[in-house]
Chains A and B, each alone.
Chain A
Amino acid sequence: MSFNIGGGGMRMGPRGALRDFGQEEEGKLFDGRLLVRMLAFLRPYRRRMLLAFALMLVATALTLLSPYLMKVAFDQAIASGDTAMLVRVSLALAASFAGLYVASAGQRYLLSWVGQRVLTDMRARLFRHLQRLGLGYHDTHIVGVTVSRVINDVAVINELLSQGLVTLIGDLLVLGGIIIVMLSMNARLALLTFSVMPLMILATYIFSRRARVAFRQTRATVAGIIATLAEQIGGMRVIQAYAQEEREAARFERANAANRDAHVAAMSLSLLFLPGVEFLGMLATAIVLWFGGRAVATEEVTLGVLVAFLAYVSRFFQPIQELSRLYTTLQSAMAGGEQVLRVLDEQPDVLDRPEPLYLDRVEGSVALRSVNFAYRPELPPILRNVDLTIQPGQTVALVGPTGAGKTSIANLVARFYDVTDGAVQVDGVDVREVAQRSLRQQMGLVSQDPFLFAGTVADNIRFGRPDATQEEMEEAARLANAHDFIRRLPQGYETEILEGGVNLSLGQRQLICIARAVLADPRLIIFDEATANVDTVTEALIHDALARLLAERTAIVIAHRLSTIRDADLICVIQDGAIVERGTHDELLARRGAYWRLLQESGVGDGRV
C-alpha cells in the first residue's frame, strides 16, 4: 500500500501533482459504447490477443487438472499400491505444470506487450491530436489536467483493456471450472463447501468499499504534504528573511501527521481483511475435512477426493478477490476512457481547407478587411469592423488599454483563430485558403511572457529551425544581443534551462526569444512587448536587438514602451475592439486625440504606456 509519488506527477509542479493525488473521478460503472470505442484500440493486435486468449484457456485447463491428478495419485496409485501408476501420474503432474508454465508465461508476455503497445499508440494519437487543436483549446484547458489525461487516464484504460478483460474471462472460467469439477466429484460436499462463498463475497464487497474511502484519504493527505512543501520551497526567501522557520516546520508536521494517521488507518483495514479471508479459507477447508472426513470414514468418498477438494478450495478464493479488484479497475477505466475520448472528440477550431494553398516566401503585406471577431459565439465581440493594411516591411505598433483587442489582432494574423466575419490576408491571399503550416513558417513570435522549453539554450534558439548550424545559431544570438551573456553562462550554449527558465533573468529570456525569432528568419513578426520591468541596461539591449529583428520584416507590435512605439511606421490606437486613431507618433501627438491622452495618462516620464 505504498502511495506512488511517480516521477511523472512530480514534474508537473504543484498544480499537476495536486490534481493527481486529490482527485478521484467516479464514472458510470458501465458504458457499452465507450467500451466498444476503447476496444477499437486493440484491433491492430487482435491476433496476439486471440493467441493470449487461447493460452489462457490452456492454462485454466491445466490449473484445474492438477488437483484431479492428485486425486488419481491418492486413490488409484497410493491406496492400491500401484507404483507404475504412481510414476505415470507424477510424470503427468510434472508435465501439466510444465505446460502451465509455458502457457502462462506466453499469455502474460503477450498481454503485457499488447497493453504497453496500445498505451504507446494512445499516447501518440493523443499527442498528435493535441498538436492539431487550436489555441482555443489550450486557452480553456489547464495544462496539468491535459497532461493527466495523456499520462494517467490512458494507463487506466490500458489496465482494463489488456489485463482486465482477459482476467475477467479467465477468472470466470476458473471459477466455473472448479465449481463443475467439484460438483461432479461429490455434489453434496461441493455444495457444503460453497456455503462459504457468500460470506467471502460479502467480506470482499464491504472491504473494497471502505478501502476506497480510506485510500482516497491517504492520497488527499499526500497532496497536503506536497502542497505545503511546494509553498515553502516557493517562499523560502520570505520564510528565512522573516525568520519563521519554526512556524513553517510546525505547519509541515501537522500535514505530515495527518498523512501518517491516514496511512495507518488504511493499513488497519487491509490487515483486518487479509486474515479474515484466510479464516474463511480455513473455514472452507474445515468443512471439507469434517464432512469429507466423515464421508471417507463411511466410504462415501475416497481420500483422493478429499485431497483434490482441499486443493480446489485453495484455488477458489483468488478469482473472487481478483474479480472485486476488477470492479474498481472497470470503474476508473470508464471514467478515464470518457475523459480521453472527450479529448479525441474535440474538433480543431482552426482547420486547413481541403487542398489548401502553399505559400512560398511572402512579400509580407498584411491586410485585415472588415474583421469582426469573438473568441466564442456566445461571448461579446472583441474586434468590430477592423480594417488595417500593412505594407511589406512596415512596423505597426498597436497601443491601447488591456482588453482592447491588440492581442486578438495579432492572433488573427497568425491564424491562431479564425475571424467571425471579414477576412485576414497575407500577400493578398485569405489566410483561410492557405495551409497553416506554410503560413506560420513565414512567421515569428516573441511573446510577452518569454517562454523557454526545457533543454539547452541552443535547443531553444534552434526551436524554429532545428537544422541550423552552430555558426548560424551563434550569429542569430549575436544579432539578438544574447551571445555575450550566453557565453558567460556555466556551459555556454549548452547550459540546461531549468523548468520555467528560473536560472535566467526575464531580460535574458527575452533576448533568447528574440534570437529564436532571428534564426527562424520569418517574413512576419509578432512581438508582444513585456510589461514587466527589466533593468535599464538589458532594456537597451532588447531595444537594440529588436530594431535589428524588425528591420526589413513586416511586424505587428503590441507595444507598451514609448521607445518602441515611436520607432513604428504606423501606430494604431485600439479601444474597445476598434482602431480609433492611426498615424505616426508625430502626427498623432499633433492631433491631440486618443493617442495623446493615452500618453498623458500613463506618465510618459517612465517610458511605458
Chain B
Amino acid sequence: MTREPIPTTNFNWTFLRRAYAYLRPYWKLTALAYFLALLITGLSVAIPQFIRWMVDEGIAGGNLSLLTQAVLALLGLTLLRGLFTFFQGQWSEVASQSVAYDVRNDIERQLLALSFSYHDRTESWQLLSRALQDVEYIRFLTGRATLRIVDAVILFVATAVVLFTMNWQLALLAMTTLPLITVVGLRFGSRYRPLSLAIQQQLGVLTTQLEQNLRGARVVKAFAQEPAEIERFDAENEHWFALSARAARLDSLNSPLMDFIANAGLAGVVGLGGWLAIRGQITVGELIAFTTYLGQLADPVRRLGIIIPALAMASSSAERIFTILDTQPDVASPPSPKRLSGVRGEVAFQNVSFAYDGSGPVLQNLTFTAKPGQIIALLGATGSGKTTVINLIPRLYDPTAGCVTLDGQDLRALPLDELRQQIGIVLQETMLFAASVRENIAYGRPDASEEEIIAAAKAAQAHDFIVGQLADGYDTVIGEKGTTLSGGQKQRLAIARALLTDPRILILDDATAAVDVETERRIQTALDTLMQGRTTFVIAHRLSTVRRADLILLLDEGRIAARGTHDELMAQSPLYREVYERQLE
C-alpha cells in the first residue's frame, strides 16, 4: 500500500499577503491591538524594576513606606496590564474571526458560482472540509499568531535594552539562551507540525476504513472477509501508532529541552550574578529583577518556535483557499446579456460536442431542434450521453464545440439566472431541503402566494398527502422529528416545485422510484399535467412516454443513432426495436 509522504512546509509570501489583506476592513481594531502590545510590553518591562526597587530600597534600605507604595503600584500595574491584555485579545479576536467569516463567505459564494464541471472534478466533501480547516489557519495567522510574534519581538528587544543598561555582562549571558530556545523550538515545530498533520490524515484513513466496514457489514459477512478486514484495519491502526510514537519521541525530547535551556540560563545568571553581587557590581535587587525578566521572556520566545512553523501551514492553507477562489466559473453570465422576454421555448442543438475535462468525448456533433411545446424523448444506455444533453440546456455545462440555442439565441449570450428560471427540472433522485414543505415547493419562487403553492401541490397530486399524512401539513419540516417522505412523495413535491415556477422548458426523468401502483398512476398524472404546453425533454423509461413523444433521440456513445417518432423508428431502426423489445419483452 502506498502512503502519502509526510507533507513539508514552505512559505509562500504571495498567498500570505493576500490572507493579510483580509484584515484591511478591520485595520482600526488591528492597529489598536498592536498599539496595546507596546503598552503591555512597557508594563512587563517596568514590573521587575519595581521589584528591584522594592528589594534594594525598600527591604535592604529598610524603607517600609516605600515597600507599601511599591507593592500597591505593582498590583496596579498588573491590573492595568491585565486590562490591556484583555482588550488586545478581544480586538484581535474580533478582527481575526471577522476575517474567517469573510473568507468563509467568499468560499461559499464561489462554491455556489462554480459550474458542475468543477464540482465533478472535486470531491465535494473533501473540498468542504479542507476549506473549513484552512480558514482556521487563516484565522490563526491573522489573529493570535502574528500578534504573538510581534509581542515576543517587542518584549525581547525591550528586555534586552533594559538588561544591557543594568549590567551588560549578565545581560549577555542571559540573552544568549533565548535565541537558543527559539532555534530548538523552530526545529521542533517544523518537524512536529507536519507529523501531527500526517497523524490527523491517518486517523481520517482509519475512520474511513471503519465506516466502510460498518456500512458494508452485510457484504463483509456474506463473503466471510472478516479476517482480511481485521488485517487491513490493523495495518492502518499500527501505522497510526508508528506516526504517533514518532511524534511523542520528538515532543518529549524537545519540549523539556526548551525548559532546560531556560533553566540553565537561570543557573548561569545566579552564578555569574551572585559573583557580581558579591563584588558589589550589582545589587541583590537587580539580580532578582534579572531572574524575573528571564522568567517572563522564556514563554513568549518558546512559543515563537511553535508559531513560525504554523505560519508555513497557514501559507499552504491560504494557497488552497485562493486556488478555489481564483477558479473562474466556466459557466457565467455574459457581461452584457440580451434580456429574455416572451420565450417561446424552441431549443436547438447545433453541432454540439462535449467532453468532460481530460476524458474522451461524451457528445459528438449533435444536431436537433425541439419546437415549442414538443416532447423530446431521450433513450440510450448508461454513458450514452442522455444526462449530458439535459445538463447543457440549463447551462450546468457549456458545450466544448457547437452551440445550444433558445429561440435562436446562443445560450451563452443570455443572462444565466433568467435562462434558468425558464427551465424546470424533475429527476428520479429528488433533492429536497431541510425546510418546510411550503418552502420546498416555493423554492424557485419564494414570493409565491399560498393559493399558488396549494394549486401547484394539487396539480402535482401532492396536496392530499401533505394535508392528510404530514403532521403539520404545509409547515411540516422535512427531515425533522423523523419526517421522512417516500420516494414517490418526494417526486411529487419536486413536480410541484417545477410547476410553480411555470417554466417554458421542462427536463424530466419519467422513471418512478419503487412505488405502489396507485402512487405511480398519480405521479404519471402529475407529470402529464406538468408537460402540457411546455417544451419537454424526457429521459424515457416508459413506453407511454416514448409513444407520445414528438421526437425520439436514441443515443449511442454520444451520437444520435436514430431519430424519429415511435412508429417511424419501429419501422426503420433495428437498434430501436431491440431497445423497445427489451423493455417490454
Contact = CB atoms under 8 A, between A and B. Distances in A.
Interface stretch (A38-46, A87-95, A321-329): A87-95
A536 B220 contact: no
Given A286-B75, A314-B295, A607-B585, A143 B105 contact: no
B585 A563 contact: yes
A499 B209 CA distance: 11
Contacts of B275: 83, 86
A206 B421 CA distance: 56
B585 A286 contact: no
A532 B556 CA distance: 22
A252 B112 CA distance: 11
A270 B93 CA distance: 11
B112 A135 contact: no
B211 A279 contact: no
Interface string B129-156: 1001100100110000000000000000
Interface in A52-73: 66, 70, 73
A593 interface: no
Nearest to B83: A275
Interface in A484-509: 485, 488, 490, 498-499, 505, 507-508
Contacts of B511: 532-533
A441 interface: yes
A276 B270 contact: no
Interface string B372-395: 000000011111101000000010
Contact of B211 (A12, A282, A508): A12
Most buried by B among A120, A127, A147, A259: A127
B571 interface: no
Given A290-B67, A537-B382, A445 B204 contact: no
B78 A112 contact: no
Given A97-B267, A271-B90, A120 B79 contact: no
B579 A536 contact: yes
Using C-beta atoms within 8 Å of the partner chain, give the interface range for chain B. 35 or more
Contact of A414 (B104, B222, B270): B222
Contacts of A440: 221-224
A303 B214 contact: no
Interface string A92-121: 011001101100111011001100110110
Contacts of B380: 535, 537
B443 A135 contact: no
Contact of B234 (A124, A243, A260): A124
Contacts of A230: 125, 128
B431 A7 contact: no
B264 A97 contact: yes
A271 B267 contact: no
B233 interface: yes
A437 B226 contact: yes
A37 to B, nearest CB: 21
B485 interface: no
Q: Number of contact residues on A: which range applies?
A: 35 or more
A10 B267 contact: no
A606 B520 CA distance: 11
A278 B82 contact: yes
Contacts of B86: 271-272, 275
Interface string A247-263: 11100110011011001
A297 B64 contact: yes
A22 to B, nearest CB: 14
A112 B253 CA distance: 12
A252 B85 contact: no
A90 B274 contact: yes
A263 B220 contact: no
A403 interface: no
B210 A127 contact: yes
B119 A526 contact: no
A240 B420 contact: yes
Given A147-B207, A231-B434, A260-B98, A537 B215 contact: no
A114 to B, nearest CB: 10
A210 interface: no
B111 A232 contact: yes
A316 B517 CA distance: 77
B541 A233 contact: no
B80 to A, nearest CB: 10
Nearest to A139: B217
Interface string B199-215: 01101101110111111
Given A78-B274, A275-B81, A539-B582, A151 B206 contact: yes
Contact of A441 (B75, B224, B382, B520): B224
Interface stretch (A26-34, A577-585, A597-605): A597-605
Nearest to A560: B514
Interface string B260-303: 10011011101100110110000010011000000100000000
A263 B143 CA distance: 13
Interface stretch (B51-59, B345-353, B467-475): B51-59
A380 interface: no
B444 interface: yes
Contacts of A23: none
A531 B515 CA distance: 9
Interface stretch (B164-172, B242-250, B335-343): B242-250
Interface stretch (A184-192, A364-372, A423-431, A446-454): A446-454
B520 to A, nearest CB: 8
Contacts of B94: 264
B443 A238 contact: yes
| Residue of A131, A144, A464 with highest tally of chain B CB at under 10 A | A131
A601 B515 CA distance: 12
A463 B360 CA distance: 30
A90 B266 CA distance: 9
A491 to B, nearest CB: 11
B225 A463 contact: yes
B200 A8 contact: yes
A458 interface: no
Nearest to A530: B514
A594 interface: no
B67 A294 contact: yes
Pick the 6 closest A-B CB pairs, nearest first.
A275-B82, A90-B271, A7-B204, A10-B129, A112-B248, A537-B381
18 contacts: A3-B136, A6-B204, A10-B133, A12-B211, A78-B274, A90-B267, A116-B244, A123-B237, A231-B433, A236-B116, A248-B112, A249-B105, A257-B101, A264-B94, A444-B222, A453-B216, A464-B225, A531-B514
Given A101-B259, A242-B501, A278-B81, 6 more contacts: A74-B274, A94-B264, A271-B85, A289-B71, A297-B62, A440-B223
